[in-house]
């Protein structure tokens, strides 16, 4: 399957994927590949998979299985991007760090030739104790990244974030300052937090940055010793904050046409960036 991507333009079809990853890495790969191929068959030229695409099981095991950017997981997604001739964001995988008991939670963006265009290591780690159902300390097995990632591509300028980052608007403001036109939020939001916060936060980030936003989510039950049920609801949101495509709580693909010219139209009509009052003490 090698769809013709056609000429590059400000318009392209994008896809956000819902999937239910577990500790079975081979099953996760087959599920992701099948959904990516399905999206590509519809003409998608940019596809985003969820956080923890390759593994969402017991977390100490995640560290043991961590790979480098040259490992099997990245090679598989690189080959798939090249075969389908599209931009592909591996929402995140467990990347080996120099620590023996912690890995990185890393997004990897591949170009249509399979080359890595950029990476992002999750900055904000999900350390919470909200209830017996939502008690998790990501920092026990993950090391935080140290760099913001805003990547210029043939499709446009893409800002990368992951899941819990969504609650920190200063990160998205920085991505806007770096020229982002499209923001990605691969996630594994819990059911408890997702039902109340997912749409509100995503639409807010799109509205305040006046960017397109693609959020691909894990959905359903996992075998991960804690966050056993993810909310799903992968969405694509335009720069005005309107949801252009959305899934429910089952695996699948959300498709929408992204028109990057809409970013400038919204910013020209509502020039928020020009109205910022930096350096002013507000009392």
List the catalytic residues. 51, 122, 163
Strand order in the sheet with 87-96: 116-121, 103-110, 87-96, 46-48, 11-18, 252-259
CA distances to 38, 175, 212, 258, 261 from 208, rounded to whole Å, are 32, 12, 11, 18, 17
Distance of alpha carbon 196 from alpha carbon 185, whole angstroms? 17
> What does the alpha-carbon distance between residue 157 and residue 270 come to, in Å, rounded to a whole number?
20
Starting from the edge strand earliest in sequence, which strands make up the sheet with 182-184, in order? 149-152, 157-160, 182-184, 212-215, 235-237, 243-246
- In order of 18, 38, 49, 115, the CA distances from 93 in angstroms are 16, 21, 10, 17
């Amino acid at each position: 399957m090698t769809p013709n991507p056609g000429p590059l333009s400000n318009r392209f079809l994008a896809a956000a994927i819902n999937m239910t990853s577990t500790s079975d890495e081979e099953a996760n790969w087959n599920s992701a590949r099948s959904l990516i191929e399905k999206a590509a068959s519809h003409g998608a030229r940019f596809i985003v998979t969820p956080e923890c695409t390759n593994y969402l099981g017991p977390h100490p095991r995640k560290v043991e299985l961590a790979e480098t950017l040259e490992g099997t997981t990245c090679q598989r997604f690189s080959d798939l991007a090249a075969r389908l001739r599209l931009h592909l964001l591996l929402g995140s995988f467990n990347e080996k760090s120099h620590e023996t008991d912690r890995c990185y939670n890393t997004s990897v963006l591949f170009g249509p030739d399979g080359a890595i265009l950029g990476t992002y290591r999750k900055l904000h780690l999900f350390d919470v104790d909200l209830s017996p159902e939502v008690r998790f300390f990501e920092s026990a097995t993950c090391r935080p990244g140290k760099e913001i990632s805003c990547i210029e591509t043939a499709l446009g300028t893409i800002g990368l974030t992951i899941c819990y980052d969504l609650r920190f608007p200063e990160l998205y403001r920085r991505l806007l300052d770096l020229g982002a036109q499209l923001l990605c939020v691969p996630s594994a939001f819990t059911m408890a937090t997702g039902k109340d916060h997912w749409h509100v936060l995503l639409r807010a980030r799109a509205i305040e940055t006046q960017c397109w936003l693609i959020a691909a989510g894990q959905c359903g039950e996992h075998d991960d010793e804690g966050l056993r049920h993810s909310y799903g609801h992968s969405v694509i949101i335009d720069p005005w904050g309107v949801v252009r495509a959305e899934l429910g709580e089952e695996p699948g693909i959300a498709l929408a046409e992204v028109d990057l010219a809409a970013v400038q139209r919204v910013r020209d009509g509502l020039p928020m960036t020009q109205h910022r009052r930096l350096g002013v003490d507000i009392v």
